[in-house]
Amino acid sequence: MARRSAAPAAGSAAGGGRREQAAATAAALKAAAVRVFDERGYLNTKITDITAAAGRSAGSFYNHFTGKEALLETLLADMLTASDERVDREHPYDHDLSDRDVLRWHVAGFWEAFRDNKPVFVAVTQAAMVDEHFGARLADLMSPDQGAIRRHLELLADKGFALPGEPAAVAVALTGMWFQFTYRQLVGGFLGGVPELSDEAAIDLLTEFSWRGLIGGQHRTARPEGA
């Protein structure tokens, strides 16, 4: 006689259902927070705004997050994980920034990451105004791009191009300019009177501006042997 498979324990099934429900609640709260941060701004958002948008109780919020700051940390971690996966998948580390197309790839990646995660970028920027912790997290947010650009600039210098400064400092200046311009175009709030550009036009402008600052009219110069 064939042996019957044991039926799953009722407690196990119930536990699995609770875990799925908890995961769904956490996902709903995070999605609602992104929407509300985008509509009202991080500083003006209350936890009850998030729970109302998610259709969840305030009590359920505290089952998952200790506060609004913890929720923002989770959103930031999710974004950084997705960004790291993209870079690992698509990013060759021998990029030559003297090639406009290569430089444009970096600019476009920065622009698209900001555009696709705008509520989180803006929320972290706003939180940094009132919380030193998020000031440090904002620096962390820029660090991967700065590190990648620094390595490429070191390669550029090794190929004989004269950089406007030390690679690490130039990387900070370059990505800082990208952040300020992208923020102004996609969010606003800095200086007025700046024309709004399409994504492609903005990426082209940043690329050309960056390329001229790095390369200008110079050509690669051969290094002396043994240098």
Question: What is the per-residue pLDDT across 55-105, written as a single tens digit (0 to 9) for each?
Answer: 999 889 999 999 999 999 999 998 888 776 666 666 666 778 999 999 999
Looking at residue 81, what is its pLDDT?
Answer: 82
Looking at residue 210, what is its pLDDT?
Answer: 96
Give domain limits for the chain.
Answer: 15-65, 67-227
Question: What is the per-residue pLDDT across 11-29, written as a single tens digit (0 to 9) for each?
Answer: 555 566 778 888 999 999 9
Helices (H), the chain: 10-40, 47-54, 58-62, 68-90, 100-116, 118-128, 132-158, 167-186, 199-214
Look at the domain 15-65 and name its fold: Arc Repressor Mutant, subunit A (1.10.10)
Under CATH, to which class is 67-227 assigned? mainly alpha
Looking at residue 11, what is its pLDDT?
Answer: 54
Question: What is the per-residue pLDDT across 131-144, written as a single tens digit (0 to 9) for each?
Answer: 999 999 888 888 88
Question: pTM for this one?
Answer: 0.80
Burial (CB count <10 Å: 0-12, 13-18, 19+), residue 108: middle
